Amino acid sequence: MAASVQFVNWAIRAVCLASICTAVLLCLWFNPEDAPAPRLAEGRNPYSLHPGFTTQIDLQRNNSSKILDRENDYEFFRYPYTHANITEYGKRLPVSKWVLRKYQMPIKYLERLDSESVHQFVFVMACSADHFMESLDALATVQEQFPTHRIMYYDWGLEPWQAEKLESLCQVTYVPFNISSYPASKAQSGNAKFQAAKIFCIMDALVNNPGVFWIDAAARFFNSSGFTFLYQKVIRNGGFAFISKSANSAFAVTHPGMYAYLPTDLELQKKFGMSESGAILMYKTQKVFDNIIWWWFLCSLTADCITPTVNLDCEFSKDIMRTFAHCHHVDQSALSILVNILYKYNDREYNFEDDVKRHGESLPGRCHWQETTHREFGTQGTFMLPNTQLG
């Protein structure tokens, strides 16, 4: 009897010891780093039903250092570039939940772009004090040719008297804007800081408007009837249009660091003249927002993506297409990558500079934009479409 009791006690101890050993071995053999990492957000719109979005990301499992102290306050995305049945992902692009709330994400898409809704856009521009007088020309031509369209003017550092003048103009909405509220701005300087902030103004305007026509201070419009053909083109391609381009390629003026976040085909980047972002018409259709605007926005929130360098001065060689000019065109570079991928590197699908010139021969009104000096309201001048130039 005593022997039986001893055997039972021994058996119980053996089972307990085996359990402990098993637990220890599992802890030693199982490395959390070997576990499948949670998928980064591959969706295009936060809080949407698009597959691949997740709100919890373990930053330590993505082969990079922890970039944020409180990751739970952020969402993370990676740009997916698909080619030859292979999807290549760029580096992580974080966006704070505060920013998502600010821009009322998920955005309410423009469900249908047609002959009626194509006219439902607002002009958007932004300026610092040193370009204010030049911007008044742009305002004047918009007011003359698009009297029913509102202009949202974002303050990038105006003097008090300049802000007061804007508030007195018809159809102009003055919008205060604090660039320093975006962390990326702390690593930016000069004109690059303002070019990187362009998308934030556009995103703000898109909250309550189906479309945005961004214009730089140098934009000039004459006779809006000439835009009928442009609207038709934009309806056809889903909601996006450039109206000018440079002679040099996008590759020549895009810093290689941007490709780490927005991967693309570098050989194709060398083949076409770069579209310029001084005047862009865009709508928040799902096609354009998900593939262009959203990723442009995410890139602009990360300084290393939108401004891997703040050098805007290019050193062009004889080969302005295939040789990097040691400069970076910030928003223009990001847009070039995203738009080309969406439209399969066919610039006839999204850049309508040639159409503007061709229709200008038979139409009295054209859209022109180039660097000009200030002219007073009401005076007239002759503006030619800029010759193809580097930049």
Domains of the chain with CATH codes: 34-107 (no CATH), 117-369 (3.90.550)
**What was the pLDDT predicted at 71?**
61
Are the beta carbons of 332 and 274 closer than 8 angstroms? yes
The CB density around residue 220, as the number of other CB atoms within 10 Å, is 21
Confidence class of residue 316 from pLDDT cuts 50, 70 and 90?
A: very high
Summary mean pLDDT of the chain = 79
Confidence class of residue 390 from pLDDT cuts 50, 70 and 90?
A: low
**What was the pLDDT predicted at 227?**
82
For the chain, the maximum distance between any two Cα atoms, rounded to a whole number of angstroms, is 117
DSSP annotation of 225 reads G
**What was the pLDDT predicted at 355?**
76
Give pLDDT tens digits for 162-220.
Answer: 999 999 998 999 999 988 777 777 776 677 778 878 999 999 999 999 999 999 998 88
Confidence class of residue 359 from pLDDT cuts 50, 70 and 90?
A: low
Give pLDDT tens digits for 22-68.
Answer: 554 544 444 433 433 334 444 455 544 443 343 333 333 333 333 34
Query: How big, in percent rounded to 5, are the helix, strand and coil portions of the chain?
Result: 40, 15, 40
Q: What is the mean pLDDT of residues 76-86?
A: 92
Threshold 0.75, pTM exceeds: yes
| DSSP letters spanning 18-30 | HHHHHHHHHHHH-
Exposed / middle / buried, residue 166 (Cβ in 10 Å: 0-12, 13-18, 19+): buried
Give pLDDT tens digits for 280-312.
Answer: 999 999 999 999 999 999 999 999 999 888 888
Q: If we measure between CA atoms, which residue out of 191, 339, 325, 193 comes closest to residue 248? A: 325
**What was the pLDDT predicted at 36?**
38
Parallel, antiparallel or unpaired: strands 121-127 and 74-77: unpaired
